[in-house]
Structure 1
Amino acid sequence: MYINKAYSKQQILEFYVNNCYFGEGCYGIEDAAQHYFSKPASDLTLAESATLCGVSNNPTLFSPTKNPKNSTARRNIVLNSMLVQNKITQAQYNEAKNEALTLNIKESVVTPENYMTSYAIDCVVREMMQQDAFKFQFIFASDDARKSYESQYQEEYLKFDKQVRSGGYQIYTSLNTSKQTELQNDVDSNLASFTDVDPKTNKYKMQGAAVSIDNQTGYIVAIVGGRGTSDIFNRAFLSFRQPGSSIKPVLDYAPAFDKGFHPLSQINDSYIENGPVNDTHSYQGSVTIRYATEVSINTVAFKVLENVNPVVGLNYLAKMQYSGIYPEDNTPIAAIGGFTSGVTPVEQAGGYFTLENHGYYEQPSCVKQVKYINSQVIYANPRTGVQVYTPESAYMMTDVLKGVISSDDGTGAALKISGQIVAGKTGSTDQSKDGWFCGYSKYYTTAVWCGYDIPEPIPSLYGNSYPGHIWLDYMTAIHRDLPQLDFDKPAGIVLKNIDDNGNMVSYDSGLQDMFSQPLLDKSAEGHKKRP
C-alpha cells in the first residue's frame, strides 16, 4: 500500500526491471541485455526485449542458454499479450515471432577468487544463515547428533553460498591490502626452503595459514590461506588441524583461573600412566602454572583440565564458536591438543583475541556491511559477543603468556618484538606434523599454522620455528612506529601473600601473586552461607 501511494505504476515498473533477476548473475534489464545480447537495453529488438521479459518470470525454466525452446515459447506468450493489449501491431508481432533466438553472450570478467574474497563470502553466508534463524551448534551429545547437524548445516550453507555468488551483493570489509600483502609475503618467504610439490594437486606440500585481528575493532585485517596467491583453498578457515600446546591457554588455564587457580598455583609435574609425556621425557615435581606454560609442560596441562573437567573446558571453546568439537574430545588428552578433528587458524585467532579483549568474545569476521543491488543495507555487523572468561582470568592468562616470550626459558624467547609488549604460545603436535604460534599485543592478535595438507612428520617444525618466525616478521612490520602499550589490568586484580606451596596466607610471606577479587568475594560469601 505504501509503495502504491508513494510511487506511480511507471516508477514501480522501472524499479522492477532495473533490479529483478534475469539469471546467470544478471540483475536489471541493462545487465541482462549486455550479458545475453552484448548490447545496451535501448538497442534491443522487440523479440530480444520480449525474451528477457519472459526470462524474468523464471530464470532457470526460461533460460535462453539452457532452455532455448522454453525461452522462445515464453517470448511468444509475451508478444501475444502485447498484441492483445494493442502495444504492438500485427506486423510487428509476426516479425518478432519469426525472429530466431540468436544470443551473443558477453563473457563476464570474473575476478579470480583469493583468500580475502573467499573468507568475506564465508562470513556473509554465515550471517545470512543466522538471519534466516539457523541455529548454530558446537557441542553434541553423540556422533549421530553431530552428523544430523552437519547435514542441515551443509544444506543451508550451500543455499546461501549460491545466493551470494549469484551476484548483486556489495560486501564492505575490514581487510587491509597492505597488511594482507605483508602477511602473504611473510608466509611465502619463511616457507620458501620447502620446494616439494604434490604431483596430484600441483601445490606445495608444506603449507601455512595465518589470520590477523585488529584488537581495537575486533575485525580481521589480513587472512592468508596458503602459499602464493594461485591456490584458492583457504586453510585459514577451512582446514582443521591439531593445535598442540597452543590450545592450553584457552582450554586449560584460563578456565582454571575462572575456577580459582592463579599463576603461581602449584601442580605436580609427574609421570601419568596412559597419559601424556613431556617433550623432554623428564619430570620436575611441583611447578607453577606460570612456569609450566612458559616451558610448555604437558602433564601439568593434563592435570589442570582434569581438575576443571574436560566438558567444562570444551564449553569454553564452544562459546567461542570452535566448530570442530566431537563427543570423543571430552577427555583430558584434549588439554594438549588431542582432538578428533582440530581447530582452524581463524578460531585460534578468535580465542586469543578473547584473552586480550578482557575475556569478551566477538565472532571473527572481516565483513562490516552488506548491501544489495538497490543499495539497501541488508546486514550491518553489530560487533556484539559474549563474556567467556572473567576479565581477571583473561588478564592473568595474558600476563602468563607474556612470560612465554619475555622469559629466557620460554618456548617463545626468540620471538621478542623490539619496543613492544607481547604475549603468545607455541604449539606443535606429535612427530611435528603441525606447528602453531598464536600471539598478541595491545594492538593486534595473529595466529599462524604450518604443516603439510596431508599430515607428515617435519623434523624442523616447532611452534617457535616457521610459525613463530612468520608471526615475528609480520607483527614486527605492522607495529613499526607504534608506541609501546601494555595490556589493561582490570580493577579486580589484587596481590595477595602466598606460601611456598602457592596457597594464599594472611601474613607477610615475602611472596605475592595475583588473584581475582570478585572470585575471592564470591568464595567468602559462600563460606558465610554455610551452616
Structure 2
Amino acid sequence: MVAVSAIMGLLVAGLAIPFAGVVGVAAKDVSKGMVNLPDELEAKELAQKTRIYDVNGNLIASLYDQNRINVGLKQISRKMVEAIVSIEDDRYYKHGALDIRGTIRAFVTNQASGSVQGGSSITQQMVKQTLLNQAETKKEAAAATDDTYARKLRELRYAIAFEKNYSKDWILERYLNIAYFGDGAYGIQSAAQHYFSKNAKNLNYLQSATLAGLVKNPTGYDPTNSPERSLNRRNVVLDRMAQLNVIPTEQADKLKERPLGLKIEKSPNGCQQSAAPFFCDYAVNYLLKDKSLGDTVKDRKRLLQSGGLSIYTTIDLDYQAGADAAVKAHVNPTDNAIGGLAMVEPGTGYVRALAQSRPMGKNKAAGQTYLNYVVPRKYGDANGFQAGSTFKAFVLAAAINQNIPLSESIYSPIKMEIPDSEFETCDGPYYGDGGWNVSNSTGGDQSYNLYTGTQQSVNTFFAQLETETGMCEPIELAQKMGITLPTAQQVPSWVLGVSDTDPLTMAQAYATFAARGLHCDALPVTQVLKADGSTFKDYGTSCEQVMPGPTADAVNDVLRGVMEPGGFGQNIAPSVPSAGKTGTNQGNMSVWFVGYTPQVATAAMVAGANELGHWVSLNGQTVGGVGIGEAFGSTVAGPIWGEAMGAVADKLDYEDFQAPAGDEIAGVLTPVPEVFGMSVKEARATLESAGFKASVAGFANSTAPEGSVVFTSPAAGTSLGSGDTVGIYQSTGYVPAPPKKDKGDKNKGRGRGRGNR
C-alpha cells in the first residue's frame, strides 16, 4: 500500500494535478495523505424496502427510505452486467482499483475542461456511493460528492482496500445494488421492476443498455421525464457494446431503432395506497411498539423503513373487500358519521379485516383522515366510542357462570330506580349518588328470563340481573376479554356501555364466546423475516381461558336467538349459524352490531361525528344517503354487519355452536327427550343427561311392557329449563276392559228416581 501510495502520489502530482507546484502540493504530501487514511471502509448493509403481505402471500404495502431490493450477481442478467461494464469500466476485470488508462484519458479531458470528473473505475464509483449512502450528516454527504482531488484520493484509497479484501464479482454486485437509477429506484432489481416490470435476471440487451446509461446522470437521463435524452443515452451504450464486440454492430443498429419499451410499475411507499390502509397502519404501529425490533421507536422505525423486512400479516383480502364494500355502501366519507368494522378469528385473535368510512389522507373536505377509528387508541390515536348494550353480554356470562338459571324470570318495568347499595363491587357495596334511574328503549312491564331479556335487550332486566351478579365478576370478565374499563367508569350503568371502545376490541371480545371461553389478544402479524430470508421473529397467539366452555356455550345459545325469527338480527343473519347482540348508547350517538359464527367475529359500528370532530346524535342525520329518524344498532349498524358477513359466508365451512349442556348450565331451554319404551333407569339417565331432574310420578294403563316408560310430564318435545323436574310414568302392562252396561240397573235407577220425587 505504501508503494502504491507513493506511485499514485507521483501520478497524481505529475498527471492529474498539473498545478501542484503553484498551490504548494508535493508528491510526498499526496503519498503521506494516502497512507494516513483508514485502512478500509466498512460496507454497511444497504437500505432496502420492507414488504408487507396478507395471509395468502399477496403484497399489500411497502415501506422504504430507498426503494431497493438487494439481489446477488447470479440474479442479475448477464446482459445487464455486460452493458454496465461496457459503458462504465470496460477493463474492470483487467485492472485493480485504479484504471491507469482511464485516469490518463480523464486527465486529457480535464485539461481541456478544467474538471476533475471521469476516469473512476467501478470500484471507485462503488466507494463514492457507499460514502454517500452511509453519510450521517450533511457535511459527510457533501464530502462524498465534492468536486476535489481530496475526494478522489479518498475514494482511491478505499478502492484499493476493497480490491484487496473482496472479489471483483462482490464489488460489481454491490455497485449494481447501491447505484441510483433515477425516479426513486435504487439498485438494479428495483430499477428493472420500476421501468420494465420484470426482475433483473430477465433484462434483455435493450433494457440493460437503458438502465446502464442512467447511472451517469440518473436525473438527466430519467426516461419518465426525458425519454428522448434517455433513448440517445441508451444508444450510446449500445454503440459502446458494439465497439467492444460485446454485441455485433448489426444487432446494435437494429436495437437502436426500437423505442424504449417502458412498462412503468409504481412502488407505493407507506400504507395510504394499500388495499387495506388502516389495517396496514395498525400493523405498523403494532410493530413500532415491539421492543424486540429496537430499543427506541426511532430504531424500530428505521428498521421498518430500511431493513428490507418481509412482514407476514393476518389480513385476508377477501374479507377486507367484503368489509370495505359493506361500510362504503352504508356510510359516505363526508357524512356526519363514521362507520367502522373489524373481523377477528376466534381461537387465534388473527385480525382478518379492518374498514372505516373515512379514507386515509389529509383532504378533510373529502372526508379523509389519518385517525384509525377501528382500533384501540394506542394504535390509531382515536378515543373510541360507547358500545351501548353490547356490554350486556358480560353480565349475561357472569350470571351463567354463577349458576343463575337461564330460565329465571325477573319482572322488568319500563322505568325503575335501583338504590346504589344494591350493587356490589369487589370491595363491598357501591356508593354513588344515591340510585340509578334506568328505563327501557325496548321491552318492559313484563317478566323476562335470561333468554328473552337478552334477545329483547331490556335495560331494567339487566339492571336487576346486575344486582344478582354483582359488578365485580362481570367487570373482571370484561377486562379479561380485552375491554379497558377505567375505575371512574365502573358504575352500575357500565352494563349499558359507558366505556369508550372500538370495533376491533369488541370483535376480539365476542370472539371469546365463539371460541368457547378462550380469549385471544388481537394479532395482526404472524412473522417477520430479515432481508436474507431468515426469521427475525415469529409472533405466536396470546390466549387464555377466561370462562368455562359450557358458560360460553350458554351465551352462544342465548345470543343466537337474536339472529333467529323474532330477534333483532333475523333479517341480517348469514347462511351459517350465527349469534349477535345490538348496541345503542344514550342519545343515539353511536350504534353497534357485534356478532359471530364459530369461525369469525365481526363488530360493526356507526357513530355520529361532524366535520369538526365533535360527537353528535345520529338521529335526524342522513347517513349513506338515507335519512335516520331514530338510530338503533339493528337498523343502522346491523346491515353493515350483515353484508360483510354475507360476503365471507361462502368461505366458511358449515359449523354449528356446541349446544350448552343442561347438566352443567342451570336453566338451559332444552326439549324434553323422548323416553317411551325405556326402562325407568334408562329414562332417568336420559333425562338427567339433558339437564333435567327426573322423578317417578306414577303408573298409567298401557299395553306397553309392564314397568316401561309410556310418557313424561311435561311431554316429550316441550322446552324446559335445565334443572326442571320431569315426571316419569310407567306402564301397568295392561288396559282394563270397559265396564258392561246393565239394562236392569238402568231401569232400577230410574224407578228410584221417580219414587224419590
Shift in Å, 1:390: 1.2
Q: Name the CA distance, whole Å, in 1 between partners of 2:471 and 2:275.
A: 34
Q: Name the CA distance, whole Å, in 1 between partners of 2:649 and 2:537.
A: 32
Instruction: Tell me the equivalent position of 1:412.
Output: 569
User: Would the alpha carbon gap of residues 452 and 107 (structure 1) be closer, same or farther in structure 2, given more than 3 Å must change?
Assistant: farther
Q: Structure 1 residue 434 and structure 2 residue 608: aligned?
A: no
Instruction: Tell me the equivalent position of 2:720.
Output: 512
Instruction: Tell me the equivalent position of 1:472.
Output: 642
Q: Name the CA distance, whole Å, in 2 between partners of 1:489 and 1:53.
A: 66
Q: Out of 397, 401, 423, which is 1:258 matched to?
A: 401
Larger radius of gyration: 2
Structure 2 letter corresponding to 1:448 = A
Instruction: Tell me the equivalent position of 1:62.
Output: 137
Structure 2 letter corresponding to 1:297 = V
Q: Deviations over 1:36-62 (max 9, x none)?
A: xxx9998686665334433565x5x33
Q: Structure 1 residue 301 and structure 2 residue 459: aligned?
A: no
User: Would the alpha carbon gap of residues 496 and 172 (structure 1) be closer, same or farther in structure 2, given more than 3 Å must change?
Assistant: closer
Instruction: Tell me the equivalent position of 2:392.
Output: 248
What does residue range 152-231 of structure 1 map to in structure 2 within 5 Å?
160-161=300-301, 163-166=303-306, 168-191=308-331, 203-215=334-346, 218-227=349-358, 231=368
Q: Deviations over 1:419-463 (max 9, x none)?
A: 432110001111211011011123322110112343211123210
SS class of match (1:446):
strand
Structure 2 letter corresponding to 1:123 = A
Q: Name the CA distance, whole Å, in 1 between partners of 2:152 and 2:641.
A: 62
Equivalent residues of 1:18, 1:28 under 8 A apart: no
Equivalent residues of 2:580, 2:593 under 8 A apart: yes
Q: Name the CA distance, whole Å, in 2 between partners of 1:305 and 1:133.
A: 44
SS class of match (2:438):
coil
What does residue range 12-31 of structure 1 map to in structure 2 within 5 Å?
17=44, 19=46, 24-25=65-66
Shift in Å, 1:319: 2.2
Q: Name the CA distance, whole Å, in 2 between partners of 1:390 and 1:17.
A: 54
Equivalent residues of 1:254, 1:394 under 8 A apart: yes
Q: Name the CA distance, whole Å, in 2 between partners of 1:133 and 1:311.
A: 38
Instruction: Tell me the equivalent position of 2:424.
Output: none
User: Would the alpha carbon gap of residues 216 and 283 (structure 1) be closer, same or farther in structure 2, given more than 3 Å must change?
Assistant: closer
User: Would the alpha carbon gap of residues 63 and 407 (structure 1) be closer, same or farther in structure 2, given more than 3 Å must change?
Assistant: farther
Q: Aligned-pair RMSD on alpha carbons?
A: 4.2
Q: Name the CA distance, whole Å, in 2 between partners of 1:317 and 1:179.
A: 27
Shift in Å, 1:297: 1.2
What does residue range 301-320 of structure 1 map to in structure 2 within 5 Å?
301-320=462-481
Instruction: Tell me the equivalent position of 2:605.
Output: 449
SS class of match (2:557):
helix
Q: Name the CA distance, whole Å, in 2 between partners of 1:344 and 1:468.
A: 16
Q: Structure 1 residue 327 and structure 2 residue 401: aligned?
A: no
Equivalent residues of 1:21, 1:56 under 8 A apart: no
Q: Name the CA distance, whole Å, in 2 between partners of 1:307 and 1:486.
A: 31
What does residue range 314-463 of structure 1 map to in structure 2 within 5 Å?
314-322=475-483, 324-339=484-499, 342-408=500-566, 410-417=567-574, 419-453=575-609, 454-459=614-619, 460=628, 461-463=631-633
Q: Name the CA distance, whole Å, in 1 between partners of 2:162 and 2:138.
A: 24
Q: Name the CA distance, whole Å, in 2 between partners of 1:86 and 1:281.
A: 84
User: Would the alpha carbon gap of residues 70 and 313 (structure 1) be closer, same or farther in structure 2, given more than 3 Å must change?
Assistant: farther
> Which structure is higher in RCO with an 8 Å CA cutoff and minimum separation 6?
1
Structure 2 letter corresponding to 1:512 = L
Q: Deviations over 1:227-270 (max 9, x none)?
A: 45764543221341100011221x32112222222322334525
SS class of match (1:373):
coil
Shift in Å, 1:398: 0.6
Q: Deviations over 1:52-82 (max 9, x none)?
A: 433565x5x3368xx6346569x96895485
User: Would the alpha carbon gap of residues 54 and 481 (structure 1) be closer, same or farther in structure 2, given more than 3 Å must change?
Assistant: closer
Q: Structure 1 residue 83 and structure 2 residue 291: aligned?
A: no
Shift in Å, 1:88: 9.4
Equivalent residues of 1:219, 1:366 under 8 A apart: yes
Q: Out of 50, 66, 83, which is 2:127 matched to?
A: 50
Shift in Å, 1:465: 1.2
Q: Name the CA distance, whole Å, in 2 between partners of 1:41 and 1:493.
A: 79
Q: Name the CA distance, whole Å, in 2 between partners of 1:466 and 1:335.
A: 21
Of 162-171 and 396-405, deviating more is 162-171
Equivalent residues of 1:294, 1:407 under 8 A apart: no
Shift in Å, 1:349: 0.7
Q: Name the CA distance, whole Å, in 1 between partners of 2:151 and 2:133.
A: 13
User: Would the alpha carbon gap of residues 79 and 174 (structure 1) be closer, same or farther in structure 2, given more than 3 Å must change?
Assistant: farther
Q: Deviations over 1:262-305 (max 9, x none)?
A: 32233452512542533348743542122111111122323334
Shift in Å, 1:115: 6.9
Q: Name the CA distance, whole Å, in 1 between partners of 2:161 and 2:277.
A: 46
Equivalent residues of 1:18, 1:29 under 8 A apart: no
Q: Name the CA distance, whole Å, in 1 between partners of 2:662 and 2:152.
A: 73
Equivalent residues of 1:54, 1:78 under 8 A apart: no
Shift in Å, 1:496: 5.9
SS class of match (2:329):
helix
Structure 2 letter corresponding to 1:219 = Y
Equivalent residues of 1:125, 1:164 under 8 A apart: no
Q: Deviations over 1:58-110 (max 9, x none)?
A: x5x3368xx6346569x968954853895499xxxxxxxxxxxx998643642
Q: Name the CA distance, whole Å, in 2 between partners of 1:47 and 1:172.
A: 39
Q: Deviations over 1:462-516 (max 9, x none)?
A: 10112101111222232248664320236685476799xxxx995668573348x
Q: Name the CA distance, whole Å, in 1 between partners of 2:154 and 2:183.
A: 29
Of 428-437 and 103-112, deviating more is 103-112
Shift in Å, 1:130: 4.8
Of 298-307 and 16-25, deviating more is 16-25
Instruction: Tell me the equivalent position of 1:126.
Output: 286
The sequence identity of aligned pairs, in percent, is 17
Structure 1 letter corresponding to 2:523 = S
Q: Name the CA distance, whole Å, in 2 between partners of 1:221 and 1:488.
A: 24
Q: Structure 1 residue 107 and structure 2 residue 263: aligned?
A: no
Q: Structure 1 residue 235 and structure 2 residue 373: aligned?
A: yes
Equivalent residues of 2:528, 2:538 under 8 A apart: yes
SS class of match (1:464):
helix
Q: Name the CA distance, whole Å, in 2 between partners of 1:214 and 1:77.
A: 59
Structure 2 letter corresponding to 1:272 = E
User: Would the alpha carbon gap of residues 479 and 25 (structure 1) be closer, same or farther in structure 2, given more than 3 Å must change?
Assistant: same
Q: Name the CA distance, whole Å, in 1 between partners of 2:464 and 2:301.
A: 43
Q: Name the CA distance, whole Å, in 1 between partners of 2:316 and 2:401.
A: 35
User: Would the alpha carbon gap of residues 439 and 164 (structure 1) be closer, same or farther in structure 2, given more than 3 Å must change?
Assistant: same
Q: Name the CA distance, whole Å, in 2 between partners of 1:78 and 1:303.
A: 85
Structure 2 letter corresponding to 1:24 = D
SS class of match (1:126):
helix
SS class of match (1:107):
coil
